[in-house]
Structure 1
């Protein structure tokens, strides 16, 4: 499915009760998934399969990713694209779950439109890095400007930092995706993400928020998780100790359970520590 945003075709999927492929009423608010840098809506296949029997589940290809146009849309306008999708679908309120870059877009939406976000889940998200970590991250993404050889080195090093085993299907799928990856676009968008200081805005998030982190993730340091906890007033935390950067793919059962344990109790001021390890 597609909708138009400022002349760009933006792709999304819509499943479950009340969605394009479903009927009837769901058990809770619609649930929107937002992928990370270089990803797409298909990354959330396990979550679509699990939640669509009970909730309306929407997965968006963010601008310039997957089947979506819009490589010229700035990162800080991605929240407007998401709000445009919500308007297009006629949804009043929803829960939003995002990975890394997608988490930052979801938190931006929660801060700017609190009446529309009933709950937020941020997976392995960061708002800023230490000078040393920032320099290392730029060195990694600069490899994308060195053609196919640089792109392959970038992917191998990135997967290592994300704690993705070399012989896994996740690793193989990621390496296959390099054939269509626009390295220059990803590097340019990475620059915009690094330049954007969203810390002042995130302090305005009032939606109940779950921070979910993979304990083995070497891409997003633990102090980033701690900083988000300090900035968001109504915040719970879950750490999947044996997962890396992609817990929704590495351990979808436990990831989905963590979301289930959190979402039904998304009431401001109520304790929501999900017992997932």
Structure 2
């Protein structure tokens, strides 16, 4: 896979993206992949070969996530600035029509919101364990409060120290998955983490804090009401990161969502249940492709 990344600037942000050609020469589809909070370049390494079967794949930074930059870190980030920047980066990377969006967690939130906001540009979307609304819960709330009381430097320092602990990356995934031992025993996961570690180590703590503070105030429920774009929503029944009750509300109230739940699965559905998740996504993409042919 090519690792050459192109850069895009929009107002207070710089984002990057890499393109991977389709393994199907006849396909004209463009699939944009967006990771979650604390993701970095290479996050979709395990899944890119699958998506290449369906079209050209574009791995796009999540706002503020390495190699992306927030140019002026003294400004608070708003939800609409976040979505506007993410959208403009999508158009720059993939054009402005017939795009398939795929996102995980905070990226999954962006996918749901952009699908509702730009129905004429987004063909279909896959949202995996999406973050829906604040407030941020648990220990991470301390980082949010620290930024608001001008003590964000403490979080910065703690993040840097924690990131440099041996196996810090593995510990992060262990918290989010259903069966940590089974997950880390897999050879594909071992190989992925070894490669991904180099990118993860470059994440900028203050950017993570700015995005986290935005997430604490965010709520996409009013935005997705009336959505017109076909969406596949995947989530694990044992997700410790995003409460199921938050997502259930969106599943019930948002038009055109097909929700699939995975038993004995945590936050990283696309990695934990990779074969089953890819089968479900394949069925979704095949159905939409067939629908397009029938209408044409």
Which of 130, 136, 146 is the equivalent residue of 1:125? 130
1:227 to 224, 244, 249: 249
Which deviates the most, 163-172 or 232-241?
A: 163-172
Deviation of 1:45 (Å): 1.5
Deviation at 1:265, TM superposition (A): 2.2
Does the CA-based 8 Å contact 2:176-2:239 persist in structure 1?
yes
Per mean C-alpha deviation after superposition, the further-off stretch among 82-91 and 34-43 is 82-91
Q: 2:163, 2:247 → 1: CA distance?
A: 28
Confirm whether residue 47 of structure 1 aligns to residue 51 of structure 2: no
Relative to structure 1, the CA distance from residue 228 to residue 161 in structure 2 (aligned partners, 3 Å threshold; closer, same or farther) is: farther
Are 1:207 and 2:229 matched, yes or no? yes
The higher-RCO structure (CA 8 Å, 6+ apart) is: 2
Q: TM-score, normalising length from structure 1?
A: 0.79
Partner of 2:280: 258
1:64-213 alignment runs, 5 A limit: 64-72=64-72, 74=77, 76=79, 77-88=81-92, 89-128=94-133, 134-135=137-138, 137-139=140-142, 144-147=155-158, 148-150=160-162, 158-163=172-177, 165=180, 168=184, 169=190, 179-213=201-235
User: CA offsets per residue over residues 3-31 of structure 1, 9 Å max, x none?
Assistant: 432265421111224xxxx784317x322
Deviation at 1:222, TM superposition (A): 1.3
Contact 1:124 1:214 in 2 (8 A): yes
Farther off after superposition, 67-76 or 232-241: 67-76
Q: C-alpha separation between the residues in 2 aligned to 1:51 and 1:135?
A: 34
TM-score, length-scaled by structure 2:
0.74
Q: Shift of residue 212 of structure 1?
A: 0.5
- Aligned pair count? 261
| Unaligned segments of structure 2, at least 5 residues | 147-153, 185-189, 292-296
CA distance in 1, matches of 2:129, 2:8: 30
Write the distance in 2 (CA, Å) between the matches of 1:136 and 1:187. 13
> Contact 1:64–1:71 at 8 Å: present in 2 too?
no
Q: Give the structure 2 partner of residue 25 of structure 1.
A: 26
RMSD: 3.3
| CA contact 2:97–2:121 (8 Å) conserved in 1 | yes
How far is the alpha carbon of 1:158 from its aligned partner? 4.8
Q: Aligned-pair distance for 1:172?
A: 7.0
Summarize the Cα distance change of 1:232–1:25 in structure 2 as closer, same or farther, 3 Å threshold.
same
Check the 8 A contact 2:24/2:54 in 1, yes or no: no
CA distance, structure 1, for counterparts of residue 110 and residue 231 of structure 2: 14
- Give the match for residue 150 of structure 2: none
Q: 1:33 to 1:137 in 2, by over 3 A?
A: same
- Counterpart residue number, 1:11: 16
After the TM superposition, which of the residue ranges 138-147 and 87-96 deviates more from structure 2? 138-147
